Structure formats: C-alpha cells, structure tokens
A and B are shown apart, each in its own frame.
Chain A
Amino acid sequence: MAESRQLPEEEDAVLARLARLSAALAVDPAPDELAAVVRDRIRTLPVPAPRSPMGEGVARLTDRLRRHWRVATAVAVALLLGLLAVSPAGARIAQWLGIAGIQIVQESAPPESDARGGQPDPASADGFREIGLDQARTLVSFPLGLPGELGPPTRVLIGPGDDVVSMVWADGDPTNPDGPIRLDQLAGTPDPAVIKKYFADVEFAELGGHDAYWLRAPHPLVYTDSSGVEHTERSRIAGPTLIWQDGPVTLRLEGVGTEQRALQIARTLG
C-alpha cells in the first residue's frame, strides 16, 4: 500500500486514496434487462443514417479548426472577406469553414420584423414545434438552462432533430420590458467560431471563463443538427444578440438591449 512506504509527498497520499476510493465504491453493473429495454425502445426509431463522406471530411476539418479556433477564426474571416469579394460560391465555402456549432453571417438587409417590438414568430421556422419545458428536457441530449432572471418562458419550441430548443419571453425583460426575448440552446461544439463579414460588429465579452460574443446587428444562425443536416435560422427578434458557450451547449440570447444586461441575464442561467 502506498501509505506504508511513507511517501514524502502528500499528493501521492491523495492519489493513493483516490485509487482506493475508486476500488471501494459500490457501483452495480448494468441491469440484465438493459439491452432488451433499449432494444424495445429503439424498435420504432428510424435507423440513423451515416454522415456522407463529404460530411465526414468537413467534420474532420472543423474538428481541427476547433482546436485552434482563435487562429481559425481570424483566418476564416480573412478568407471569407476575400472569397466573398470574388466568388458567388463564397458563402457556401464560408459555411464549411464555420465550426460545427454556429456561424454568423451579416444579412444584407435586416428582415422586416426587425423593427423593435416586432412580434417573434419562432413557430414559423422549419420543423420547429411547440413543446412543454419538462418534455423538452427529456428530448435533448444536453442540459437545458433557464435564466432565473427572466422567469418561466412564454413558449418553448424544439427544432428538428431535437437539437435546438428555443424559449421565448413574449413580454421581454421584466425589469425593462422592451420587446420580446428569445433564447436558443443547441448541442454545439465546445468552441464556436464566429465568421463575420463585418468583423467590427462583434464585441468580445467573457462569461464564466469562456468567450462570449456580442452582436449589435441581427443575423441568421446556421447550425448543424446531430444527423449532420445544416439548418439556417433567420433572426426573428429585433436587436442585439449575445452568443456564448456553456459546456456542450451553445446559447444565443436575442432581444436584450444592452450587453451588460444580456451578460447579467446569461449569468443567472441554471
């Protein structure tokens, strides 16, 4: 036993205890019926289609880029500026360069509903359906946060593939009601890359030790669901947006007037 050798460093005592703890914990093996129960539950589910070879290539590229995403972002922005200038395929290439979670592309003209106070119509998005909060929690593969500051949402919607959940507060911020607020949560990747046509529109902030991005202008959100299908979601709420990451989840908060207040709301996520 490690202790009997009287190791000089107490850290070794810690590691030795961790090893003993690991061996001593009472953990039951998987119940015998687990495989049968799971088999029954997946019987009616569609067989998951493999990603295309092209998709795999893009995934590998984005994995690599994600690891060096600061550099990748700068490079991608530079590339994008160049490509957009010379090629109509530029937008498509920009999408490939987007790290799997999200991409931001400046819209050429703000959508009609962008006037402040315009009503959001999240249900009009492709494949989104209204759902209860508790049910949403059981469907998604990531922990769903709820910003305590805003209270219960007016509506909860879930996207195709159960990969994105949108919450809407129709009356907006209780401390300063000024148009609706929408929060999107999606199973993104640890580090979102931000591709901006107009880089000057992004402000960098910090939230829980991670980078957050504050955008003053509306923008469409491009994301990839778990089956590798790409979706584009247009902004439906006027005003600026905060984008950040919480563990495996990427979050987008739209419709809060100031960066400071958006960060404040984001910090109450629990």
Chain B
Amino acid sequence: MVSRVRSGDRAAFAILVRRHGDIACRTAAVLGAGADTDDVVQEAFVKAFRALGSFRTGAQFRPWLLRIVANETRNARRTAGRRVARETAGALLLPPLSEHVTDETVRAHEDLELFRSRVMDLPEAQRLVVACRFLLDLDEAQTAQVLGISRGTVKSRTHRAVARLRDALAGQVHEEVGSG
C-alpha cells in the first residue's frame, strides 16, 4: 500500500488512513492528547504522508505511524500546557472510563477509577510506557520504536511502573484495613 502511494496513488493513502485511523486515535488518547485527539491524528497522518519517502520498504507501517502520532501528541501537550491550567490538562492524561460498562459493580467501577488515577500519577516517562505496553498492547520493540527509546529503557520503565502500582495497591489495601 505504501509503495502504491509512493508511485503516485494518493487514494491508496486514504485506505491507510481508514485502516489505521482507530488505533491512531486510541494511541493519541491514551498518550494524553485529550480533547486534541482528532486534530493530533489528522496532523500525524499529513506528516506521515510527507515523510513516506523515508519509510523503509518491508518495515511495519503501524509502529512507524504511531511514532509520528506519539510525537504529535507531545507537541500538542506542550502547546496545551501553555494554554490551559495544569489540572485540566492533567485530568485527561488518560481517557475517562466508559459509562457503558455493564458488568462492573459500583465498587469495581470505583476501584478502577482509583486505579486510573494511580496510572495517571506515574511519572510521565513511565506512564507513556505503561500506555503503550498495556493500553495499546504493543510489544517491547514496538513500544521502543513508538516512544523513540531503547528496549532496555522500555523494560526498566515497565518494571518500575508496575512496582510502583503494586505499592500503591498494597497501600490502598492497608488503608482500607486500617479504616475498617
């Protein structure tokens, strides 16, 4: 498909947009694009088109595209950081929980809401790795490519983030035991 675009078939690029649009939006959203998600994705696809000359034949298109989405998300967040209050931007580091999850009890929903805020409290670098690995289901190599870091860094940040979340959960249990 990429080579069709390169040989002048612009319509083929629209097929790539349709094929990868949803994952691009999800990526921008879980990396913190918030209300700018649609704009970020549109911009990323235009930049991807312009950069298509440097795409290596035979490489995976999706992580290559998602890296551009991730960079564009960072750009948007920097701009937004100047525009809106920190707290407002902070609340959208991860998308909200869906209202339509029916098999969750109120308690489980609250538990998950608390867990969502724990993930958002992670240091930025760890949160991004967690988002790629667990919310986008990317493997280590893809995560490394998308975030522009080494696989070793992905591994160590994942490890630290999971350890931190485990500590947070343990603290939460103790609190509940203590107060109850």
**A interface list, Cβ under 8 A from B:** 10-11, 13-15, 17-31, 34-39, 41-43, 45, 47-51, 56, 59-60, 134, 137-138, 141-144, 162, 190-191, 226-228, 247-248
Chain B interface size, as a band, is 35 or more
14 additional A-B residue pairs with CB within 8 Å, beyond A27-B26, A50-B3? A10-B166, A20-B112, A24-B98, A24-B112, A35-B14, A38-B13, A38-B14, A39-B14, A42-B13, A42-B49, A47-B5, A48-B5, A162-B50, A248-B67
B 45-102 contacts with A by CB, 8 A: 45-47, 49-54, 56-57, 67-68, 71-72, 74-75, 78-79, 94-99, 101
Q: Which residue of B has the minimal Cβ distance to A28?
A: B25
B 100-123 contacts with A by CB, 8 A: 101, 104, 111-112, 115-116, 119
**Inter-subunit contact B97/A24 (CB<8 Å):** yes
Given contacts A18-B134, A51-B53, contact A27 B30 (CB under 8 A): yes
**B interface list, Cβ under 8 A from A:** 3, 5-8, 10-11, 13-14, 17-18, 21-22, 24-26, 29-30, 37-38, 41-43, 45-47, 49-54, 56-57, 67-68, 71-72, 74-75, 78-79, 94-99, 101, 104, 111-112, 115-116, 119, 130, 134-135, 137, 147-150, 162-163, 165-166, 169-170
Q: Which residue from B98, B134, B149, B162 sits with its C-beta under 8 Å from A26?
A: B98
Q: Which residue of B has the minimal Cβ distance to A137?
A: B75
Q: Which 6 A-B pairs have the closest CB atoms?
A: A30-B21, A248-B148, A48-B53, A48-B52, A26-B98, A227-B53
